[in-house]
Structures are given as C-alpha cells and as structure tokens.
C-alpha cells in the first residue's frame, strides 16, 4: 500500500456525512414519504388538485418508459449511447414542472425529464444520442437550452442569461442543472460567485445522484453539498430528490424568490442514479448491489402510485391508461428513431458561422466536388 492510499484511508469521515449513500440525512425536505404517505412541511406548503397529482404521475411514468425504450434501442445498436435518468424522474419532473413559460432551463445531458416537462419532443433528444445532430429543439422557443456535455459549463451560461433577464426587467428566472460531480468544477463555483455578486435570478438545481460515473460523493465534497451555498452567500436547501412533491414545492419557492429579486438559491436534490452513468458504464465495478436494493425501496414513482391509489385520487383504469400511453409513446420513439434520416453530408459546414467564411465555403465546395467524383455521386 502506498503512503497516499494509507493517508486516504485514515482520514476521519466528516460528521453527518459518514454514510452519504443512505438517505437518512438531516434537513431533508420531504412531502411524500417512500411509503407514499403525504406529510407537511411548514416552509413548503403545496396544494395540488387531483388532476395535477395525476398529471405528475403520468409525467413520471412516461419518462421512465421513454428511458427504458432508449436503453433498449442503444442495446440494439440504434443509439450511439444513452444517459439513463432511471431513479431521477421525480427530481427532473418536480424541477421542470416548477418552471413557468418565460423561464429558462440550462440542462446537462441527462435532463430528459426536464426536456419532457418543457415540451421537447423526445425524438429531438433521441437524434442527439443517435448521432444525427446535437439536439433538434429550439432553445429560445421552449425555454430549454441545448444539452451541454462539458461538465458544469452551462452554469455560467445560466447565470449570464439570468443577468440578461435582469437587464430586460423580465419577471422570469433561470434553472441551472448540475450534478454532484460538477460541484468540483471551477466554472460552477465561478457561476455561483457571479450569481451571488449580481443577485442574478438563477436557481442552481443539483441532482446529487451520489456518483460522478464511478467516483462517489465523498471525493467531491467533505460537506453536504447544500451547505456549500452558505459560502457563496445565498440559501442552500436539501430536498428528497425522489419526492416529486417536495422537489416541486422547493423549486417553485426558489424560482419565485429569484423572480422577486432575492437572488440565487442552491437546491440539492438528494437522489440516486439507479442505472449506469451511461450505456457504456458498468456500475457493478464500483458500487454494491445492496446499495441499489436500498434505493429501490425509495423509488420515486412507486410512492406516488401508492399515494394516489390509497387516497382514491387514481384508480386502476387510470394507471392502465398511463401504461398504455407509455407503450404508445415507446412505439413512437422506436419508430421515429429508426426512421430518422441521416443528415446531409454537407450539413457539417452549414452552421459553423452565422456569416460563412470564404475559406470554409471553398472547403465545402471541394468536399462536394470530391464526393461527386465517385461514380453515381455516392460514397
């Protein structure tokens, strides 16, 4: 054993963070227990109609069905890769549904649930993972930026966008998505400094899913993540990320505060990535099966279903209809993905600049000529 390894192993665990993978954490805001029991919280009252509650269940179930289909399509060779959101449905739907039309979301590459909530067609996400484009949706129209793959970079874009809203006098706010790993990035910390200094209307929504690919949270932070916010000078709050009601209530409150000029909030949605980082990953190499079993008991969808059924808000017919809708959605996603045309070869030249350069135009022309030199103009 090297000295470095020894040194790592003798470090005392941080008090209160000794078992960070287990959900028994202090200050965890919850409105719906894992068993499906509705509980109150003095700071986060939430009054939803039965329709709204059923709609949340539908969102959760449909994005999971989409996710399952996408994973299957990747396994069948139809997607280059897929970043599964399995286990994070409540965090994403709660956050996405807390937003208003004029608000703007800045996602990473796993926010399919938020994309759904913002009205992005799933096929426009699938086209990215199939390698057709980098995401086909219109960010300004939907209030949902394109996926940003460099970890944490989008937090600065979110902050700058919020500074723009301030200058416009807009009564809107920005929701910046990041993960636990991203909190180690310099750019994320710079974003929080800019946001605090200018009191920008931005909410940092951190899905702490416990792992940055294989590296557990303890390597990113020696304190619970939500406590980081205090050092930047704005509130930090930890919410049960598997509780869609709590996430909705907490995110709504933070966005409202931002819209009212109270500046940023950091939300730590405490959750768990139940699947692999992506379809290229093998989580059995770095985490115990027992840990996953523990989190399965806290599934974000099962608790909503239990609550709806037990309280009589939804019946079998409703759940069956959502299942059927999910199968239809999955079929549409499958067919749509398989039918997706490849982009035209010249497309790679077309949007490098708003004003094409003569150099690139010449390269493009040469490329066209080269391709045409083959018999029949094909490959």
71 vs 75: CA distance, rounded Å: 6
Place of tokens 């509650």: 53
Query: What Å distances lie between residue 251 and 145, 176, 344, CA to CA?
Result: 18, 11, 41
Q: Does 139 bind another protein (CB under 8 A)?
A: yes
Q: Cα 329 vs. chain centroid, distance in angstroms?
A: 20
DSSP lists the bridge partners of residue 207 as 179, 269
Task: Please tell me which residue in 130, 252, 277, 303 is annotated as part of the active site.
Answer: 277
Q: How far apart are CA 379 and CA 371, in angstroms?
A: 7
Candidate segments 22-30, 41-49, 58-66, 165-173, binder of another protein by CB under 8 A: 165-173
In the set 71, 153, 220, 242, which binds another protein (CB under 8 A)? 153
**Is residue 331 a contact residue for another protein (CB under 8 A)?**
no
Determine whether 21 is an active site residue.
Answer: no
Is 286 part of the annotated catalytic residue set?
Answer: yes
Taking the least distance from each CB to another protein, the nearer of 171 and 315 is 171
User: Residue 122's CB: how many other CB atoms inside 10 A?
Assistant: 22
Rounded Cα–Cα distance for residues 183 and 269 (Å): 13
- Residue 187 near residue 155, CB atoms below 8 Å: yes
The alpha-helical segments, DSSP class H, found in 100-152 are: 112-117, 122-130, 139-142
Does residue 73 belong to the site contacting another protein (CB under 8 A)? Answer: no
- The minimum distance between CB 290 and another protein, in angstroms, equals 38
Residue 245 binds another protein (CB under 8 A): no
Distance in Å, CB of 68 to another protein, minimum: 28
Q: CA-CA distance, 84 to 273, in Å (whole number)? A: 8
Least distance (Å) between residue 149 CB and another protein: 8
Among residues 130, 259, 273, 303, which one is catalytic? 273
Instruction: Give the DSSP H or E segment for 41.
Output: none
157 belongs to the binding site for another protein (CB under 8 A): yes
263 binds another protein (CB under 8 A): no
Choices 4-12, 74-82, 230-238, 356-364; region in contact with another protein by CB under 8 A: 356-364
| CB-based contacts of 335, cutoff 8 Å, min separation 6 | none
Stretch that binds another protein, among 87-95, 189-197, 243-251, 270-278 (CB under 8 A): 189-197
Verify whether residue 277 is a known catalytic residue.
yes
The catalytic site residues sit at 273, 277, 286
Which stretches of the chain bind another protein, using CB under 8 A?
A: 133-136, 138-140, 145-146, 148, 150, 153, 155-165, 167-168, 186-187, 190-191, 193-194, 197, 350-355, 357-360
């Amino acid at each position: 054993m090297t000295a470095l390894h020894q040194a790592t192993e003798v470090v005392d665990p941080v008090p209160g963070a000794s078992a960070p993978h287990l959900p028994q954490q202090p200050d965890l805001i919850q409105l719906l227990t894992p068993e499906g029991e509705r509980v109150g919280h003095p700071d986060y009252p939430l009054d939803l109609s039965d329709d709204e509650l059923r709609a949340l269940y539908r969102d959760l179930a449909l994005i999971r069905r989409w996710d399952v289909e996408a994973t299957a399509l990747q396994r069948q060779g139809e997607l280059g890769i897929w970043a599964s959101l399995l286990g994070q449905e409540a965090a994403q739907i709660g956050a996405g549904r807390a937003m208003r039309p004029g608000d703007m979301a800045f996602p990473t590459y796993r926010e399919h649930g938020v994309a759904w909530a913002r009205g992005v067609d799933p096929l426009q996400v699938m086209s990215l993972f199939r390698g057709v484009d980098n995401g086909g949706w219109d960010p300004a129209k939907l209030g949902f930026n394109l996926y940003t793959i460099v970890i944490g970079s989008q937090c600065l874009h979110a902050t700058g966008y919020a500074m723009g809203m301030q200058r416009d006098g807009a009564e809107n706010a920005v929701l910046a998505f990041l993960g636990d790993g991203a909190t180690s990035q310099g750019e994320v910390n710079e974003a929080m400094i800019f946001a605090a200094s200018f009191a920008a209307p931005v909410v940092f929504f951190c899905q702490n899913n416990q792992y940055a690919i294989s590296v557990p949270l303890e390597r990113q932070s020696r304190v619970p993540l939500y406590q980081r916010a205090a050092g930047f000078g704005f509130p930090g709050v930890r919410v049960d990320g598997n509780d869609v009601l709590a996430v909705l209530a907490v995110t709504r409150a933070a966005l409202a505060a931002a819209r009212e000029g109270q500046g940023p909030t950091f939300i730590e949605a405490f959750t768990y990535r139940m699947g692999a980082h992506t379809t290229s990953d093998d989580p059995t190499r770095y985490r115990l099966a027992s840990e996953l079993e523990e989190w399965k008991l806290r599934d974000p969808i099962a608790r909503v279903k239990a609550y709806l059924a037990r309280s009589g808000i939804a019946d079998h017919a409703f759940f069956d209809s959502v299942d059927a809708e999910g199968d239809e959605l999955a079929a549409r996603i499958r067919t749509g993905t398989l039918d997706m045309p490849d982009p035209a070869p010249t497309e790679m030249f077309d949007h490098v600049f708003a004003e094409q350069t003569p150099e690139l135009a010449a390269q493009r022309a040469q490329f066209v000529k080269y391709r045409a030199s083959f018999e029949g103009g094909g490959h």
